[in-house]
Amino acid sequence: MSTYRFRSTQTNPSARGLEFGRLHADKIRASLAAYQRLFERAAGSPVDVAFWGEAAAGQIKAVSPALLEEIEGMAKGAAVPLTSLAAINARTEILAAVGCTAAKECSTVVHVPSSGAPVAVQAWDWHPELADLWLVWEIPHADGRLTTTVTEYGIVGKIGVNAHGLGILFNILHHEQDGHGIGAPVHVLARAVLDESRNLNQAMLRLASAPVSASTSLTLVAHAAGESAAVSVELNPGGVGYALPDAQGLLAHTNHFLSSPASSHDTEPRNGPDTVLRLDGIRRRARRLHPPHNSGRIDETALLAVLDSHLLGGGATCCHADPALPADSSFDTLATVSLNVQDGTLSAHTGGPCTHPSRTTTSPKENAVLNLKRIDNMDILTRDVDKLVDFYHGTLGLAFHLPYEPDEEWAAINMGNLTLYIFKSEVGEHAPRRTAINEENAPGFDSFAFEVDDLDQAEAHLDGKVEWVVERIEWKHPNGTWYRYRPFFDPDGNMIYITEPHITEVVE
Model confidence pLDDT, tens digit, residues 262-314:
999 999 999 889 999 999 999 999 888 865 445 567 888 889 999 999 888 88
Distance CA 75, CA 40 (A): 22
What pLDDT does residue 4 have? 93
For residues 497 and 461, the answer to whether their CB atoms sit within 8 Å is no
- DSSP class of 407: G
Contact in structure between 186 and 212 (CB atoms under 8 Å): yes
pTM above 0.85, yes or no: no
Asked whether the bond before 261 is cis by omega within 30 degrees of 0, the reply is yes
Radius of gyration of the chain (CA): 28
Q: What are phi and psi of 52, to 5 degrees?
A: -70, -35
pLDDT along the chain (508 residues), means of 10: 88 97 97 96 94 97 98 98 98 92 79 92 93 96 95 98 96 94 97 97 97 97 94 96 95 96 94 92 87 66 91 87 74 93 94 79 41 71 91 88 86 84 88 86 86 89 92 83 91 92 61
**How high is the pLDDT of residue 475?**
86
Q: Which amino acid is at 54?
A: E
Beta-sheet pairing, 134-140 with 5-7: parallel
Show Cβ contacts of residue 235 under 8 Å, excluding neighbours closer than 6 positions: 173, 186, 207, 210, 212, 215, 216, 217, 218
pLDDT of residue 480: 76
Q: How far apart are CA 389 and CA 449, in angstroms?
A: 18
Q: How many CB atoms lie within 10 A of CB 284?
A: 10
Helix extents (H) in 288-434:
300-306, 364-370, 385-389
- Residue 175 DSSP code: B
- pLDDT of 454-507, one tens digit each? 899 999 999 999 999 999 998 887 777 888 999 999 999 999 999 998 886 443
At position 208, the amino acid (one-letter code) is: A
Contact 310, 316 (CB under 8 A): yes
Query: How far apart are alpha carbons 424 and 409 in whole angstroms?
Result: 6
CA 151-70-76 angle, 5° bins: 105
Separation CA 122–CA 129 (nearest Å): 20
